[in-house]
Amino acid sequence: MQSQAITMAGRRAPRGLFAAATLSLAATFALLQPAPASAQPQAQPQLRAMPDFADLAEMVGPSVVNIRTSEKAKRAGRGNAQVDPNLEEFFRRFGIPMPGGRNPRGNNDDEDDDLPQRRGVGSGFILSADGFVMTNAHVVEGADELIVTLTDKREFKAKVIGADTRTDVAVVKIEASGLPAVKIGDVNKLRVGEWVMAIGSPFNLENTVTAGIVSAKQRDTGDYVPLLQTDVAVNPGNSGGPLLNLRGEVVGINSQIYSPSGAYAGISFAIPIDEAMRVADQLRAGGRVVRGRIGVRIGPVTKEVAESIGLGKPVGALVQSVEQGTPAEKAGIEAGDIIVKVDGRQVEKSVDLQRMIGATKPGTKSTLQVFRRGAYKDITLTVAELEADSAKSRTPTPAETPSSSAAKAHLGLTVAELTDAQKKELKVRGGVRVEAVEGAAARAGIREGDVILSIDNTEVADVKQFGVVVGKLNKDKAVTLLVRRGDWVNYIVIRPTR
């Protein structure tokens, strides 16, 4: 096949040469003439050379540490399969059961107090010359012993100063001085497409350097922290290591990867360093992070719902339930409200509200702007403190009582009155209970047992009013119901049958 290909190429070549030779002399001179000014190609933007990460790695490398974690040995409950200790951090991080019946959190039935066993490896970086080191909370979680290794091979036992699982940030301390601390960068100046570099200990390979670009900012993969997305190669053991810009400044902490297999698949996430430093400052000052709360459960506002209730744009956070005895209940926040501003700052997405309130100091008075039944309303409340392990409120189920009356409408709903006991249990002033559902309502997702609180921004007090409101609806237009299901509320849009 190879000789045939060469032969065929040899046969075509003379034709090409002959064709070129047939050009007239005039045409040849025409080709050699300079193009008119209007036809000259426009100047191309100057391309930058590829960055050289060597100096950067040499400069920042000594500030990056390896962290090994140990725990008391456990006897395998099932089988004797051995797991690579370098992979244990990944299993623990994502809650995947490990071979041999071992729990990903390291909690087994039997313990051997005599033998220490390495749980896994991680990374970290030096915050201050006196030995404060930042890493991920999941790196140090549950560890009985931490060993921090510097690039000069010195090893230190470390003490956990504090760890915050909500942001996955931890601060540990080693007894040393004169250490090379990192420089903290400005995340706000970081641009999508900008080169970044990571240093860490993937699979316990200390001070491994990888590089890539910032793929996106403000990724909502965390409750309290919008993450940086990069394509920097990050693997188990990189967790807790720094993400650096080309000036050698830390702009993030490598924390998570997206991977169906457990190894790097082209997408990694880092905690922005400004958020991490705010957490670290509180951990160093008091060993824990103090956050605000107002006592609401929230959900997103869809484009369809926003248009149907007159909000216009899908902004804000939908209040799905209000916890009893909380600042929100005392201030008059209601299920179905859409919180659009906090102290004048726009709430673009539901997660923004959680972060805004979480960052507010408990005891602070805040003004919330809510959208309720077609109008805006300002509500002032005092932010409370979010407990470390706040108990989840019970989700009540509407009592199954026979209906005393029913109303059938073109929506395909049969409804019944709520008893006083049901209203008290659900903490509502009115509403009707869905007894049966079919047609358009069933297709929209309404279920038997749901409680309808309003129709197109009009409150529903009882079955009689429900019938009146439904009777005035335009059968050719969509209708938006505010529906309570258990302890949650949501807007459901019912579209007419075409």
pLDDT in tens, the chain (498 residues): 444 443 333 333 344 433 333 344 444 444 445 555 555 555 555 566 778 899 999 999 999 999 998 866 554 444 444 555 555 555 555 444 454 444 444 444 444 555 545 567 899 999 999 999 999 999 998 888 999 999 999 999 999 999 999 899 999 999 999 999 999 999 999 999 999 999 999 988 888 999 999 999 988 765 678 899 999 999 888 999 999 999 999 999 999 887 766 667 789 999 999 999 999 999 999 899 999 999 999 989 999 999 989 998 999 999 998 988 999 999 999 999 999 999 999 999 888 998 899 989 999 999 999 999 999 999 999 999 988 643 333 333 333 333 333 334 468 888 888 888 788 888 788 888 888 888 888 888 888 888 999 898 888 888 888 888 888 888 778 888 899 888 788 899 888 765
Angle of CA points 271, 277, 279, to nearest 5°: 85
CB 159 within 8 Å of CB 147: no
CA atoms within 13 A on the CB side of 32: 7
Between the alpha carbon of residue 282 and those of residues 85, 170, 316, 357, the distances in Å are: 32, 11, 29, 17
What is the CATH number for 366? 2.30.42.10
Does the annotation count 168 as an active-site position?
yes
What are the helix (H) ranges across 22-84? 25-32, 54-60
- pLDDT value of position 203: 86
Pair (347, 381) in one structural domain: yes
Pair (189, 281) in one structural domain: yes
End of a domain among 230, 252, 286? Answer: 286
Pair (273, 304) in one structural domain: no
Pair of tokens at residue 47: 């391309």
End of a domain among 146, 173, 200? Answer: 173
Q: How far apart are CA 274 and CA 227, in angstroms?
A: 11
The domain containing residue 141 runs over which residues?
Answer: 58-173
Q: How far apart are CA 119 and CA 168, in angstroms?
A: 18
| Active-site position among 63, 239, 321, 366 | 239
Q: How far apart are CA 463 and CA 442, in angstroms?
A: 19
Pair (151, 70) in one structural domain: yes
Angle of CA points 334, 167, 197, to nearest 5°: 135
| Active-site position among 63, 123, 138, 456 | 138
Q: Is 41 within a domain? A: no
Q: Is 45 within a domain? A: no
Between the alpha carbon of residue 341 and those of residues 224, 337, 338, the distances in Å are: 18, 12, 9
What are the helix (H) ranges across 95-200? 137-140
| Tally of domains within the chain | 4
CA atoms within 13 A on the CB side of 245: 20
Radius of gyration of the chain (CA): 31
Q: How far apart are CA 118 and CA 198, in angstroms?
A: 24
Does the annotation count 239 as an active-site position?
yes
Pair (446, 473) in one structural domain: yes
Residues 6+ apart with CB under 8 A from 126: 63, 64, 65, 132, 133, 179, 180, 181, 182
Which residue shows structure tokens 């949501």? Answer: 490
- Which residues are registered as beta bridge partners of 163? 170
pTM: 0.63
End of a domain among 118, 139, 173? Answer: 173
Nearest in space to 208 (alpha carbons), one of 191, 233, 184, 187 = 233
β-bridge pairing 242-244 and 227-230: unpaired
Pair (336, 424) in one structural domain: no
Pair (169, 72) in one structural domain: yes
Residues 6+ apart with CB under 8 A from 96: 90, 104, 262
- pLDDT value of position 135: 96
| Active-site position among 63, 164, 168, 487 | 168
Pair (96, 135) in one structural domain: yes
Q: How far apart are CA 159 and CA 173, in angstroms?
A: 5
Q: Is 10 within a domain? A: no
Q: Is 27 within a domain? A: no
Pair (148, 191) in one structural domain: no
Which residue shows structure tokens 């902490």? Answer: 253
Q: Is 364 within a domain? A: yes
Q: How far apart are CA 66 and CA 150, in angstroms?
A: 7
Q: Is 160 within a domain? A: yes
β-bridge pairing 183-184 and 169-173: unpaired
What are the helix (H) ranges across 197-270? none
3-state DSSP call for residue 262? coil
Q: Is 51 within a domain? A: no
Q: Is 445 within a domain? A: yes
Pair (231, 303) in one structural domain: no
Alpha carbon 374 to its chain centroid, in Å, reads: 31
What is the CATH number for 276? 2.40.10.10
CA atoms within 13 A on the CB side of 349: 9
CB 125 within 8 Å of CB 101: no
Pair (69, 130) in one structural domain: yes
Pair (168, 223) in one structural domain: no
